[in-house]
Homo-oligomer: A and B are copies of this chain.
């Protein structure tokens, strides 16, 4: 039974790397209590998720049974489910959580626009808060919001994102998303001062429809970094975020668990909560 003032939380996908980190973060938060840990590994069923995550026993056994866990969580009152499973199953799981009145905090970029609209309608009808969060890193969201403000005053901007060399795709989703967000402020950036020529194709980076150049650096030793550089005559204004470890997502996850309680509908993106 949870302490009156603690938010009961279920983690779906609890045995993944992100799931384990979330289990530890919730265990360390005074105002939350882990009440369920779901994962699809039959061999782990019944084991203490705290032991698996490496934070000592939490008396919460791993289970594969989503529905039973939701029923139990609901009975605790004001429960939240943090879902960090694979996109394929998320839509159904989130519907189930809403149906049981357990508020879903979903960390995924894998839902289609149609699915998001349907979930929004479903959450609205049920008056249950629901958060779809493509990126839990508060620092990244702050950087994007600061960039939106800067774009009102600067006409020139380029993005440099730097990742380890096991990342196969370029540019990063965050860099593309950042460029798209800037378009809300101005339809296009980087009006040319001279006719540019590339003697080495690609040197000037990839250019988005907004005219923003994105440069993707890949090196071992790097983790996940992004720089947004704004330029004007005589000055450069640079925003940079360095993510060294997935523990950096935890303040965003905890913020979502706290802020979802009074919500009665779906919100998309951590920026809505900052």
Contacting residues, chain B, for A241 (C-beta < 8 A): 235-238
Kindly state whether residue A193 has any CB partner on chain B within 8 Å: yes
The segment out of A57-65, A76-84, A219-227, A261-269 that lies at the interface is A219-227
CA distance A242 to B207 in the complex (A): 25
| A201 adjacent to B206 (CB under 8 Å) | yes
Q: A139-B230, A146-B142, A251-B153 are in contact. Are A214 and B203 (CB under 8 A)?
A: yes
- Of B207, B248, B250, which is within 8 A of A200 by CB? B207
How many of chain A's residues touch chain B, expressed as a range? 35 or more
Enumerate A184-215 residues with CB–CB distance to B below 8 Å.
Answer: 190, 192-208, 213-215
CA distance A232 to B239 in the complex (A): 16
Interface string of A225-255 (1 = CB under 8 A from B): 0000111111111111111111111110000
A176, A203, A213, A239: residue with the most chain B Cβ atoms closer than 10 Å: A203
Kindly state whether residue A26 has any CB partner on chain B within 8 Å: no
A168, A215, A274: residue with the most chain B Cβ atoms closer than 10 Å: A215
| A237 adjacent to B139 (CB under 8 Å) | yes
Contacting residues, chain B, for A235 (C-beta < 8 A): 137, 139, 221, 241-245, 248
Contacting residues, chain B, for A234 (C-beta < 8 A): 221, 243-250
CA distance A167 to B219 in the complex (A): 27
Kindly state whether residue A111 has any CB partner on chain B within 8 Å: no
The segment out of A32-40, A41-49, A96-104, A158-166 that lies at the interface is A158-166
| B194 adjacent to A166 (CB under 8 Å) | yes
Contacting residues, chain B, for A165 (C-beta < 8 A): 156, 190, 192-194, 231
CA distance A246 to B232 in the complex (A): 12
Contacting residues, chain B, for A194 (C-beta < 8 A): 165-168
Contacting residues, chain B, for A200 (C-beta < 8 A): 170-171, 176, 206-208, 214
Q: A194-B167, A203-B214, A250-B233 are in contact. Are A150 and B158 (CB under 8 A)?
A: no
Q: Which residue of B lies closest to A162 (CB)?
A: B229
